[in-house]
Amino acid sequence: MTDTLLQAYAPFLLWTGLGVLLLNVLPDSFPRFLGRSLYWVGVPLQIFTLARQTDLSSRIELAPFVTIATLLGGLLLSWLVLRALKPLTPSLASDSTSEEDQSLHPWQLPSRRGSFILSSMIGNTGFVGLAIAPTFVPDDYVGWIIFYSVTNNIVGTYGIGVFLASYYGRSKQTNHWLIQVRDVLTVPSLWAFMLGSLTRPVPLPTEVEATLHASLWVIVPSALLLMGMRLRQLKGWQSLRTAIVPAVLKVLLLPLLVGIVTTLMGLPVEPRLALVLMSGMPTAFAGLILAEEYELDRDLIASSIVVSTALLLLAIPLWLLLFHHV
């Protein structure tokens, strides 16, 4: 297990740390350029490559259902915790500046409640999940990871996430269901997965296959590099203490419940571990984008990203110990 952890953590720490250091010497527009490039080209290419080597048997159709159940479980848990947090003193919440915010109890603010739920529910299954989880899962079961990532992005971020952000925040533009449908249908990772799965029986030229696999050596470091840059750009670190609760829910409690339920379902070790790892990915950067768009509590989500990312490094050995050989 130690060798596997070193194999996963070494590039994670190296490239993320390099991203933190390089941010000051790169153009301000570079992180956005890298992020858009990964979203439209890098990650879809990675998913296409992995989908072509994915075994679509062995009950893989359960992955989307487990993903949706995990999202709903995160929503329910965060709502219950919010009800319990209401009596807490204002000192646990980040500072508020507006008169309206100061007139309300910190956990009664819709913007903060919305950010709390998003931080507890939506995980970074795209950049971080696809970069780390395949290290611990055999190639035949990588499809579970891809299924989880695609379902999380579509149902979680573009579905439940947008709905909750709109409900708890104030949209800067008219929100129409056709816009949300368009966003779902234009997710490049979805089309990449479909194309990779459909072309799996079709052999590609050796040079093309080699190029596809070689591209992973660029895409994964680029995703981790971007993560380091985004962490360096985060503001609102003063809310770190407030972010502990949603980070613990996201990285520790939810994957523990997924592991217990999938064990009771009799799921084999490999797909069970894949689902546990993906359900425990840190708070997604997409939550910060939703916070900007719908005027939620940006500081809380930013701090949750930092705390949950740190917790991830401590949680993975626990999941390997509990669910890898049970």
pLDDT digits (tens, 9 = 90+) for 156-169: 987 898 888 888 88
Instruction: Return the number of other C-beta atoms located less than 10 Å from residue 140's C-beta.
Output: 15
Largest pairwise CA distance in the chain? 66
Candidates 227, 206, 259; CA nearest to 129 is: 227
Q: Using the predicted structure, report yes or no on whether residue 55 has a pLDDT greater than 70.
A: no
Selected residue with higher pLDDT from 178 and 324: 324
Banded pLDDT at 60 (limits 50, 70, 90) = confident
> Model pTM?
0.84
Cα–Cα distance, 215 to 193 (Å, whole number): 16
- Per-residue HEC secondary structure of 224-276 comes to HHHHHHHHHHCCCHHHHHHHHHHHHHHHHHHHHHHHHHHHHCCCCHHHHHHHH
Contact 130, 46 (CB under 8 A): yes
What is the pLDDT averaged over residues 282-287?
90
Please list the residues that pair with 283 across neighbouring strands.
123
What is the pLDDT averaged over residues 16-25?
93
Selected residue with higher pLDDT from 290 and 118: 118
What is the pLDDT averaged over residues 13-22?
93
Mean per-residue pLDDT of the chain: 85
Cα–Cα distance, 12 to 313 (Å, whole number): 10
Q: Using the predicted structure, report yes or no on whether residue 237 has a pLDDT greater than 90.
A: no
pLDDT of the residue at 234: 78
Contact 230, 31 (CB under 8 A): yes
What is the pLDDT averaged over residues 118-122?
95
What is the pLDDT averaged over residues 113-126?
94
Q: Using the predicted structure, report yes or no on whether residue 118 has a pLDDT greater than 70.
A: yes
pLDDT of the residue at 96: 45
What is the pLDDT averaged over residues 104-131?
87
What is the pLDDT averaged over residues 251-279?
96
Contact 230, 309 (CB under 8 A): no
| Collapsed DSSP state (helix, strand, coil) of residue 116 | helix
Cα–Cα distance, 10 to 3 (Å, whole number): 10
Q: Using the predicted structure, report yes or no on whether residue 311 has a pLDDT greater than 50.
A: yes
Q: Using the predicted structure, report yes or no on whether residue 100 has a pLDDT greater than 60.
A: no
Banded pLDDT at 2 (limits 50, 70, 90) = confident
Candidates 117, 129, 70, 87; CA nearest to 309 is: 129
Selected residue with higher pLDDT from 183 and 265: 265
Placement of tokens 């490039």 in the chain: 37
pLDDT of the residue at 123: 95
Among the listed ranges 5-14, 128-137, 257-266, which one has the minimum average pLDDT value?
Answer: 5-14
Cα–Cα distance, 57 to 21 (Å, whole number): 43
Domains of the chain: 2-323 (1.20.1530.20)
Banded pLDDT at 102 (limits 50, 70, 90) = very low
Cα–Cα distance, 276 to 46 (Å, whole number): 21
